[in-house]
Structures are given as C-alpha cells and as structure tokens.
Amino acid sequence: MVREITEKEFDEVVLKASKPVLVDFYAPWCGDCKRLAPALEVIAEKNAALFDTVKIDVDKAPDTGKKYNINALPTLSVFRSGKNGPYISEPASKAQVDEWLKGQGF
C-alpha cells in the first residue's frame, strides 16, 4: 500500500526509516501521476518486504519539493538511511519504474 504523508511527517517516516523508502513526489492535478498510481500500488505490495512506499503532494509540501529539487511530476526517489538516491522523473510505465528499481538494487 502506498501511504500518503505530509510535510510534517516526512522526516520521521522517510529520513528516520529503518528500511529504504520509495517516495513518489506528486500532485493531484497531475495526469501522469494519476496514471502511474495503480502501478505504484502494485510495486508497493510486491516489494513491501524490501522497502516502504509513500507519496507526498508537493503542492501541500512545497518546502520538501524545493529541498529535493522536484521540477517534474511524478518524480520517484529511494531514500536510504536518511539520504535520497537517484531520481526518475515522469516515468511512462510500471515497466520503466521496475527497471529503474532494479538499478537501485531491488
């Protein structure tokens, strides 16, 4: 399951997490974000033992979006031990996200 978090929760849920966290930076008006959401749910369920999956609305969390230089939506990043890894911006499909995750060691 993809859990929606707020800007106030980001540090606790993502940066202090004991296992990796896949973060989906999105906005509710973003068509590509809406199209990718079902695929992210499948990815989250399939990989729940390996990493947690959360999403954060950058319109409601502008400081977090700026801190991580989010300029395109959706943007995904895996955070490990409080640090973000490489990004993938505007992935077109579940297959593209799966391939990117393989490159992240999953």
Q: What is the CATH number of the domain that holds 63?
A: 3.40.30.10
pLDDT tens sequence for the chain (106 residues):
999 999 999 999 999 999 999 999 999 999 999 999 999 999 999 999 999 999 999 999 999 999 999 999 999 999 999 999 999 999 989 999 999 999 999 9
Domain annotation covers residue 105: no
Domain annotation covers residue 32: yes
Domain annotation covers residue 71: yes
Range of the structural domain that residue 22 is part of: 3-100
Cα 36 to Cα 27, 65, 83, distances in angstroms? 12, 19, 24
Answer for the pair 76, 23: CB distance below 8 angstroms, yes or no: yes
Q: Checking DSSP bridges between strand 21-26 and strand 52-57, what pairing results, if any?
A: parallel
Q: How far apart are CA 41 and CA 39, in angstroms?
A: 5
Q: The tokens of 84 are what?
A: 């973000």
Task: Give the predicted TM-score (pTM) of the model.
Answer: 0.97
Q: In this structure, what DSSP letter does residue 60 have?
A: T
Active site residues: 30, 33
Domain annotation covers residue 106: no
Q: How many domains does the chain have?
A: 1
